[in-house]
Chains A and B, each alone.
Chain A
Amino acid sequence: MSEMHQESSGSGDSFDLSQFYQIFFEEAGENLDLMEQMLLNLNLEAADDEELNGIFRCAHSVKGGAATFGFADVAELTHQMESLLDRLRRHELQPNPQMVDVLLESADVSRGLLARHQAGGAGDPLPTADLVRRISLLASGGMLTPEPAPLVQSDSQSKVLGATQKLTNASAPSGVAPAERSLAISIGPMDKPEQADAILELFRDIAGLGKIVASTSDREDTRVFAVETTSSDEDLLDLFEFHISRELVKIQTVPETGAVTPGDGQELSESSAIHAGLTSYADDPPPGAPLAPLPGFGFFDGSPGAPAAGATVVQPAAEQKTAVANPAARAAAPAAQTEAATIRVAISKVDQLINLVGELVITQAMLAQNSRALDPAVYQQMLVGLADLDRNTRDLQESVMSIRMIPMSIVFSRFPRMLRDLAGKLGKKVDFITQGEATELDKGLVEKITDPLTHLVRNSCDHGIEMPADRLAAGKPETGTITLSAAHQGGSIVIEVRDDGRGMSREKILNKARERGLSVSDQMPDSEVWQLIFAPGFSTAEVVTDVSGRGVGMDVVKRNITALNGTVEIDSAEGFGMKVSVRLPLTLAIMDGMSVGIGNEVYLLPLSSVIESFQVDANAVNTVGQGAQLVKVREEYMPVIEMEKLFQVPRFSAEKCNSIMVVIEADGSRVALLVDELLGQQQVVVKNLESNYRKVPNVSGATILGDGKVALILDTAALVRRSRH
């Protein structure tokens, strides 16, 4: 055993910690996100111990990792955060909004620092000195006159105010420009003079506090330090008070040619401290010392396994080791399985897996199709096998798809912070409620839905929620509520953004629409009126609301969501608020399709947009101007698109005639597609046509059919738009 150890310490110098960087970056990011979330949820009046501990733990973990992996700037900043949080969780300080602001800002800066390290140190270094100073001054307590700023007050303003206040406090009380002073500080007499060494850490931790050097002392119970600083005595005492009681500290100004020179002491640096710890350990700690006062590490005398008493204490440990060796062997197996609940995998690997499963599904479909011609009596076994293959393939596909599913909380979590800042800027009071954060959605969709949702939530806060005074005047609670919810409904996910703000005015939208020359009527149902705000460039300033427009950029939102095969619906009641529902398919990779035949070609329609299909009665089709056709379905005229002409499908046999129409709906309108035949419904794996070929009008993607042929998936929204022109 000892040989092994010998070897290990020999190779110790070549440890490459960089292999853990990635894990650390991800973990630190998660911790910072979590911390931000908890900070935002923190109830300042009655902060929960568990919450404060949780926030502390986040900063603590980031700091520990950053220090271990050598990201000194992150470690320094998070250390300051930790110190502040530590005092908060010990109830030595009362949390206030300024602390939350500074901590949030620090989390942002930490992210920036980490991103810079992750990019290999590219880009300009971020300045942290001011932030560090601000936190440490807040953490030292009492330095700041905490004036609880209400949420409505501009954040940045209060921050600047706070900062200047702190700076003036920190400078010399007389108000003159701070000059560097040389001080001799003696601390003692103390029972444990080591405690005084804590102020060395203070100087190391607080950038800009000055320089400190431990100096020789003529008394054992007193420590002497030479200090160069611009801070006032009072400020220093305030800081020291943390560790040492005020009465023990004596500060003397030293003339420039001071008697205390750095040469007398030992410059305290990280490495020398570590060396000191290790070498003095080798020198044996003083016997009988209650606690080994060495930096770095130490052992408690007489405690189990302590090396100082190795001969006597370790022996029983070794005995016990052998005595229970057998149960250990038995128990080893079950322990391994609970080790990790999650693994991190590159998204490219998952996509590769999904692709392969997609191919497998196609191959399986091909086999299934070919096997239909086989005689069941002869090939019974093979057919049973194929049926199993069918079931397993579907299960496999489902499981693989679920890997890409991530909870909506990933998206939702960014909003509290955004709303807090926005509400602060606008002077509004907003409560943010999220529901159904655990609802899962394909990662690709989650990424794409984030921007539209951000826009909707912003709109709600910006234009929906009224100013507190207006709300009170309208008999509503002063604080508005924005609710973001997600839920599964059938094969889709419905995400709703609700607010209890002023809602939209039907009349004003209709008036504006008339001004813009849109064809509208007073009899239009509400749902259609609300859809008007999605019209491109439908500037709703002074229309929807008296103050400002709702729906600026709503056309972009709508377009983005439509591009994801989703739909947007609006519901609103003037004076009571508004609800925007976004309905999305669960995944973009698999689609339920209806295959239709046109000539010898097969096309696919998203089943979600298919309303009905019917045999065409020639009398029901009317040709209007420019050769456009309309079909009358249950006393309602609908535009017809002749797919054969649209896609210029070559027709080789004359006898086949167009006979079936499929009604599809998109963007709230319906069109009838004229096709040759309906072939069936099937799940298809959607392949991107653009990346594999090029963009084709009226086509949203492609898939491979069971027989190995490529079929195009029709872009229903584009077809409906086409019929309008």
Chain B
Amino acid sequence: MTRILAVDDSPSMRKMVAFTLSGAGYQVVEAVDGIDAYEKAVNQTFDLVLTDQNMPRLDGLGLTRKLREHPQFKTVPILMLTTESSDLMKQAGRAAGATGWLVKPFDPTRLLEVIKKVIC
């Protein structure tokens, strides 16, 4: 079973993502911010991390950087869900070690398509 960590401070987004993914047969663990996500991430294994950028305590970039430092997450794909599609943001995402980005808003179908491209 493919396990995905979905990180977003907004409950509605989180539920939407979780519902979409679990409906597609993925096992989803939700986290409410970067700190929560990191704690969950290092205690379990995931095949993919989907993270929002703007969150309290620790944002998506920070989470990505932290995860990349952890041996377990050197190669796990990390997708940033962001409303900021600016080049600056993309460069920052790349520098932090993210695998790619997906601009919000997105619909569930699109989310699944993108995820399929990352998880084989």
Contacts and interface: CB of A to CB of B under 8 A. Distances in A.
B91 A17 contact: no
Contacts of A725: none
Size bracket of the B interface: 35 or more
Contact of A297 (B40, B48, B77, B102): B102
Interface string B58-98: 00000000001000101111100001011100110110011
Interface string B27-62: 001100000100010011101100010111000000
A27 interface: yes
A335 B44 CA distance: 8
Given A12-B112, A57-B54, A306-B100, A27 B12 contact: yes
A296 B102 contact: yes
A268 interface: no
Contacts of B94: 291, 300, 303
B112 A8 contact: yes
A65 B13 contact: yes
B80 to A, nearest CB: 10
A525 to B, nearest CB: 53
Interface stretch (A307-315, A554-562, A686-694): A307-315
Contacts of B25: 4-5, 7-8
Interface stretch (A324-332, A435-443, A464-472, A515-523): A324-332
Interface string A285-299: 000000100011111
B29 to A, nearest CB: 6
Contact of B99 (A9, A17, A305, A335): A305
Given A12-B109, A64-B10, A300 B45 contact: no
A625 interface: no
Nearest to A17: B16
A5 B24 contact: yes
A7 B43 CA distance: 31
A320 interface: yes
Contacts of B68: 304
Given A1-B2, A291-B91, A335 B29 contact: yes
A278 B9 CA distance: 27
A105 interface: no
A338 B97 CA distance: 27
B13 A303 contact: no
Q: Which of A198, A274, A305, A328 has the most CB of B within 10 A?
A: A305
B104 A9 contact: no
Contacts of B83: 60, 63-64, 67
Contacts of B15: 20, 23
A124 interface: no
Contacts of A296: 102-103, 106, 110
Interface string A108-143: 000000000000000000000000000000000000
A617 interface: no
B77 A305 contact: yes
A54 B72 CA distance: 32
A331 B54 CA distance: 27
A65 B43 CA distance: 30
A9 B100 contact: no
A63 B104 CA distance: 10
B104 A68 contact: yes
B54 A274 contact: no
Given A299-B118, A334-B43, A15 B103 contact: no
A-B pairs with lowest CB-CB distance, top 9: A305-B77, A8-B24, A12-B109, A299-B100, A67-B105, A24-B12, A297-B102, A4-B25, A328-B45
15 contacts: A8-B24, A12-B108, A12-B112, A23-B11, A60-B54, A64-B83, A67-B83, A67-B104, A68-B16, A300-B90, A314-B120, A317-B77, A318-B120, A334-B43, A335-B44
